Chains A and B, each alone.
Chain A
Amino acid sequence: MLYIECPWCGFRDDEEFHYGGEAHIQRPTDPNELNDEEFSEYLYLKSNPKGVILERWLHSRGCRRWFNVLRNTVTNEITEIYPIDTLPNSKEGTEYYGQNWRRKSSVEKTIKPREYK
């Protein structure tokens, strides 16, 4: 059972949280501009790496806030937790974010870049 440090409430058992899937999949600015294939990529294609992943969690039985987590899918080690509207800070997280296939996808190019804090 994971032990997750909610940025607002501190360490809690994972039964207080809900998993929210891959982080940093931004909704297209205007989905109508995407063709079916591109829209399917946004809707259905998810990263499934062996190793580091950036993902979203919700402290559903606590403060009900969303936040982002850097987790290793092999060891379940959590190395960074950061607010939902920011990018990762750690070297590992920044590298993963920069090298993720989504950064090169045509879908993301249609999105007005979010202003991360």
Chain B
Amino acid sequence: MNKQLFRVKDLGQVDRSKPLRFKFDGKFFVGYRGDTLASALLANGIHLVGRSFKYHRPRGILSAGAEEPNALVQVGEGNGTDPNTRATQIKLEDGLIVKSQNRWPSLLLDLGYINNLLHRLLPAGFYYKTFMWPSSWWMRYEYWIRRIAGLGEAPKGADPDRYEKTHAHCDVLIVGGGPAGLGAALAAGKTGARVVLVDEQDSFGGSLNSNTDCTVDEHTTLDWRKRTLAILEGMPEVILLNRTVATGYYDHNFLTLLETVSPGQQNQSEYKTRQRLWKIRAKRVVLATGALERPLVFKDNDRPGIMLSASMRAYLNQYGVSPGNRVLLFTNNDDAYRTAISLKENNIPIAGIVDLREDPTGELVDRIRHEGITLYPGYAIVSTTGHLRIKSVRIMKLNDDGTKVIGNAKDITCDSIGMSGGWNPTVHLFSQSGGKLEWDDKFERFLPKIANQPLISIGACNGTQSLSDCLKDGLKAGAESARATNNKGRAPGTPRVVESKCNDERAIWIIPRENSYKKNGKYFVDFQNDVTASDISLAAREGYRSVEHLKRYTTMGMGTDQGKTSNVTALAILGETLGTTAPNIGHTTFRPPYTPATIGAYAGRNVGALFDPIRTTAMHEHHEKFGAKFEHVSQWMRAWYYPKPNETMQQTINREVKAARDSIGLLDASTLGKIDIKGLDAAEFLNRIYTNSWLKLAPGKARYGLMLKEDGMVMDDGVTTHLNSNHYHMTTTTGGAASVLDWLEEWHQTEWPDLDVYFTSVTEHWAVASICGPNCRSLLAELAPELDLSDEAFPFMTVKEGDVAGIAARIFRISFTGELSFEINVPRRYGLALWQALIEKGEKYDICPYGTEAMHVLRAEKGFIIVGQETDGTVTPHDLGMDWIVSKTKNDFIGKRALSRSDMLKSDRKQLVGLLNENENEVIPEGSQIVEMLQPSPPMAMIGHITSSYYSPNCNRSIAMALIKGGKARIGKTLHIPLKNKTIKVKVTDTLFLDKNKELTDG
């Protein structure tokens, strides 16, 4: 079982006493604690881990970090499964289950590989060019294309894992725990500053873990790393977060960090948290994000076994894993020489070093020559062989300017290649922060130039190459950042570093072809999205010259890796094709997240019942007991209707609507917005806010009011009551409560601060039971024997205070149904008691609780509007036929001037009218479009739409309201409503459907 044939004896930091069993594509393997999935697979000799996105080519592990474009796997099973996860960043755990992606039936035999042979059908932008005939077949093509092109599978159900969020502040946030970041943390931590150090990998140290060929103060790099971490762990104000990606850098030094909690940490907690999203505000940020190695672009450069040179070194030195039995290195700089030395020291056979540079020099080169490793200076790989694993390469000599290969070809066998095309500083977060980048000609890369926020870039992400400079910059930046946040202290002395000097590189973006007339083979630039050098040239030739166009046309850099290994190379190739240089091309925008993030982490605990708060009234318990069906009205749960056994919804509503007009209906109206308004200028304020007049409303009286926005459109409505002098009680719609309060505050604070007026939301303070119908006065009289309820003593639109069922109450005689009605307000905690008393005493009247649906029918029978149903922000009071509520004598109120703008006076504005269906029993669907001239098929000129539509049991027919162009002038006319399978004929009427002679008490 525990074969691990490629594990090197006594090398690396994995814990060999802790073997871990894991499953990859159904087979069991063993790795060690401290491995990533990628290093464990390589230790077992497995390079082939996936199939490519478009051509289904076999792909191996390219890198050892966040930039990995190939080794994307599906982790876990069931609804907790995580697709497209980078094997290079998965911490190996016992029992881990992983599957490869985008292959069928298996990784070794993938039928999708036929795409590789059909590549002529799939050039850049193929979806604009091929599969176009016959055009009606696109849907079928698309089905197969989507099936074949792919990544992992999304889980089908809800994510079962728990995610958390945490908010934090710190003095200095350091992103990246390599030598520069550790140095910065050490210096900042020593001052006592509050420091957070994050690193995306399981272990801190970055390149210190793999570049073991250096010493720091006579210690190995690993020793220095260990000692530094021990010091940091002892500092109470320093927080160390490993397996934590800084995903986004936003304004004012706000960053999001995504921490993956290991199962080991979870066991200590009652809850099993999988990931934790840190929202962190840092006074200073130190970016030490390192650099990513660039692949070289040569023919068939994507075969399993071909990896990045520094990653190969990391697998060897950090995990003790050998890449193969015969390793070739291919480079344009000194990095591969360091890998070669590490390989040599561990007796791993080296096939040679192919170096693009004509005359490489320096101590590393001398050492290679001394070790007797074959060096091919000025050579390039022109082709490769090997289907599921690299088998051999062909190399040729480059001409002077690197545009051609010349001379005799030489074949070299090998089973793995370490390549290095130079380094791209990881400027993602710097760029996200708003910083400007600058092109560095010498090393052909983008570097941070002008920062836009309080941050500093240090180490390899700032272009620094040597370990000693990284440590020096780190210590300095840490101390400076701490001092800038009012912490005192000096940078510790710079340690003495012994390391080899690295020399210049020779940039050749595309390795020339062996035969310029033979155009076979693929030169991959973006491994994840299968974008080749010829795709980029083709796009440029077809006119996609802007980098943003190139990206979208070729899909270059659009994979889950966002082009971490490919973007700069692609820009350079585009530049060469267009005869210009990369800095003139610019770069695409770096956007968060840096690496793919789980959506669950952003939702955190705000899922399920905690997704949105639910508000319930004091009577909720009773509604539930009565079997009410509920509907959501903004955040409120309102009783919708109260079905009896064996009743249909329509039967229930008919019964409730009838009862409210025949005896007594009972409605829970607690959800209406309620605002308490006090102050000497309260009446003046209301007068400016409402369209009608408020200065002369006597205490004890109530009035209906309409609020407009300054543009003249209806915003909200409700009844406001003058309780006693300078004290008013305003009601708003249920959904408008918060926005109306904001609206009042805004005008008061920003425009009329001189007015003496105060607003308090009292929506939650009062429970409201509304009774209506001919018997409701008798019922109230029983419950409030001390009150005179006669018409003379308690007229319509007035308020009284008194005890109802022994509870101190405010009783408003107002009506939304047209019937005699009382709205009884009691303190919330007595709401249920009041409701129960009403039900009990009302039994002899067959009192009937009704829900919001019956309420809608009742008000529609009387033609009363509901703001938000009859209005949509484009409707004026005149459009609603409510001219009566707009004062003609007031000089000004909010929205008045707008009502006389030319557009408001047009006769073809949409106006509210009633509609009667020719078929009395049929209810027109709400939202239906209305036409005047019926055509056999669309398009037809639409002149309006249905806003409300119900069956009215009191009218014994269906009724509807609609907004129709020039509606008032059409009263009496017949219009049409074309639906999918039929057409409804309607007659236009006014909006009063019941009680045309206005005989109802409170009509």
A-side interface residues toward B, CB under 8 Å?
1-3, 13, 18, 20, 26-28, 30-32, 34, 36, 39-40, 43, 56, 58, 60, 64-66, 75-76, 78, 84-85
Give, as a whole number of angstroms, the nearest-CB distance from B523 to chain A.
40
B-chain residues with CB within 8 Å of residue A34 when the two chains form the complex: 897
Contacts of B892 in A (CB 8 A): 30-32
- The distance in angstroms between the C-alpha atoms of A1 and B577, with both chains bound, is 40
Among residues of A, the one whose C-beta sits closest to the C-beta of B255 is A1
Q: Is B82 an interface residue (CB 8 A)?
A: no
**13 pairs across A/B with beta carbons < 8 Å?**
A1-B251, A2-B251, A13-B254, A31-B896, A32-B891, A34-B897, A36-B901, A36-B902, A43-B898, A58-B742, A58-B746, A66-B745, A76-B251
Give chain B interface residues in 574-621, CB to chain A under 8 Å: none
A39→B252 contact, CB < 8 A: no
Q: Is the CB of B897 within 8 A of A39?
A: yes
Q: Which of A3, A26, A27, A36 contacts B252 (CB 8 A)?
A: A3
CA distance A39 to B904 in the complex (A): 14
List residues of chain A with CB within 8 A of the CB of B749: 65-66, 84
Q: Indicate if B764 sits at the interface (CB-CB under 8 A).
A: no
B745–A39 touching, CB < 8 Å: no
List chain B residues, Cβ under 8 A from A40.
901
Whole-angstrom CA separation of A2 from B434 in the bound complex: 13
A6 to chain B, nearest CB (A): 14
Q: How many residues of B contact A (CB 8 A)?
A: 24
A2 cross-chain contacts in B, Cβ below 8 A = 251-252
Residues of A within 8 A of B434 (CB): 75-76
Which residues of the other chain, A, contact B281 by a CB distance below 8 angstroms? Answer: 3, 13
Taking the complex as formed, is B95 at the interface, i.e. its CB lies under 8 A from any CB of chain A?
no
In the assembled complex, the Cα of A7 lies from the Cα of B10 at a distance in Å of: 62
Identify B452's interface contact among A20, A65, A66, A75, CB under 8 A. Answer: A75
A18 neighbours in B (Cβ, 8 Å): 742
Inter-subunit contact A66/B746 (CB<8 Å): yes
Interface residues of B (CB under 8 A from A): 250-254, 281, 434, 452, 710-711, 742, 745-746, 749-751, 753, 891-892, 896-898, 901-902
Shortest A63–chain B CB gap in Å is 11
Q: Is B252 a contact of A76 with CB atoms below 8 Å?
A: yes
Report the Cα distance A78→B427, complex, angstroms.
Answer: 25
Q: Collect the chain B residues with CB atoms within 8 Å of residue A85's CB.
A: 753
User: Which residue of chain A has the shortest Cβ distance to B742 in the bound complex?
Assistant: A60
Which residue of chain A is the closest to B902 with respect to CB atoms? A36
Question: B741 — nearest CB in chain A belongs to which residue?
Answer: A64
With A3-B281, A30-B892, A32-B891 as known contacts, state yes or no: A66 contacts B750, CB within 8 Å. yes
Min CB distance B904 to A, Å, is 10
Give the chain B neighbours of A84 by CB distance below 8 A: 749-750, 753
Shortest CB–CB separation between residue B452 and chain A, in angstroms?
A: 6
| A1 & B250 in contact (Cβ 8 Å cutoff) | yes
Q: In the complex the two chains form, what is the Cα distance from A34 to B900 in whole Å?
A: 11
| Given A30-B892, A65-B749, A84-B749; A39-B898 close (CB under 8 Å) | yes
Give Cα A22 to B898, complex, Å.
Answer: 20
Residues of B within 8 A of A65 (CB): 749
In the complex, the chain A residue whose C-beta lies closest to that of B248 is A1
Residues of A contacting B742 in the complex (Cβ-Cβ under 8 angstroms): 18, 58, 60
- Determine how close the nearest CB of chain B comes to the CB of A104; give it in whole angstroms: 22
Please name the residue on chain A nearest to B253 by beta carbon. A3
Which interface residue of B251, B281, B750 has the most chain A CB atoms within 10 A?
A: B750
Chain B residues near A58 (CB, 8 Å)? 742, 746
Asked if residues A1 and B254 are in contact (CB atoms below 8 Å), the reply is: yes
CA–CA, A32 to B751, complex, Å?
18
In the complex, A76 Cα to B454 Cα: how many Å? 13
Do the beta carbons of A3 and B901 come within 8 Å of each other? no
Assess whether A20 is in contact with B897, with CB atoms less than 8 Å apart: no
Bound CA–CA A3/B901 (angstroms): 41
Distance in angstroms from A67 CB to nearest chain B CB is: 9
Which 3 pairs between the two chains have the least Cβ-Cβ distance? Answer: A31-B897, A3-B252, A1-B254
Separation of A1 and B279 alpha carbons in the complex (Å):
10
Given contacts A3-B254, A32-B891, A66-B746, contact A27 B751 (CB under 8 A): yes
The residue among A2, A27, A32 with the most chain B CB atoms within 10 A of its own CB is A27
